[in-house]
Chain A
Amino acid sequence: GESVGLHLPTLSVQEGDNSIINCAYSNSASDYFIWYKQESGKGPQFIIDIRSNMDKRQGQRVTVLLNKTVKHLSLQIAATQPGDSAVYFCAESSMTTDSWGKLQFGAGTQVVVTP
């Protein structure tokens, strides 16, 4: 994998506002995408996933949008709360058996929620 530097992109959001986190993916064969949330010193936690036959999926306070034409994924968090402060990663994988489960992760975005 390629390193993308030591400084994560940071999104600063005021409490109560909506957050939008973006992710560009490179493999046009990828057909499954996941968003993870990682708090400091902990393992990533699953937020929401989407398959390539969909362009939108909603969860509790979160929505993932997939644009396969431009290979772009976004995560929208509604009414952002202090507990949403974390690093958010997108991950992609493809359906071929030998690649199955090989999640490729993006570099991550640091979300900081301010009061």
Chain B
Amino acid sequence: DGGITQSPKYLFRKEGQNVTLSCEQNLNHDAMYWYRQDPGQGLRLIYYSQIVNDFQKGDIAEGYSVSREKKESFPLTVTSAQKNPTAFYLCASSPFNRGHTEAFFGQGTRLTVV
């Protein structure tokens, strides 16, 4: 089945550690995105990539890093510089065209700092 797979579903991190969240898609989509969601709030854009080997900062990029070495994969690293990393992280993808098709979301990774 085509779709977006995020792993792990739950992740626990000690303070001061970097962690990497995985996002893989087999939809042949050019664009991929990472959003952060806090309880009772909407989604805020962290990073996005419209094409392989290129990515752009979103609204809340500080303390995060990404790479886009393959079309299918867009991993997000939450670094120790991110002061409040506990949140629900959502990855999405969409075709890169001016027809404005919707973004498809994965099922999310819930990150908790312990």
Chain A residues in contact with chain B, CB under 8 A?
1, 3-8, 31-32, 34, 36, 41-46, 49, 51, 89, 91, 93, 95, 98, 100-108
Q: Could you pull out 20 A-B pairs where Cβ atoms are within 8 angstroms?
A: A1-B45, A3-B38, A4-B41, A36-B105, A41-B110, A42-B108, A43-B90, A43-B105, A44-B43, A45-B105, A46-B102, A46-B104, A49-B100, A89-B42, A91-B43, A100-B31, A100-B96, A102-B45, A103-B45, A108-B42
CB of B48 within 8 Å of the partner chain: yes
Contacting residues of chain B (74-105) with chain A, CB-CB under 8 angstroms: 90, 92, 94, 96, 98, 100, 102-105
A-B contact count (CB 8 A): 78
Tell me the count of chain B residues lying within 8 A, CB to CB, of chain A: 33
B25 within 8 A of A: no
Interface set of B (CB-CB < 8 Å, partner A): 4, 6, 31, 33, 35, 38-45, 48, 50, 56, 58-60, 90, 92, 94, 96, 98, 100, 102-108, 110
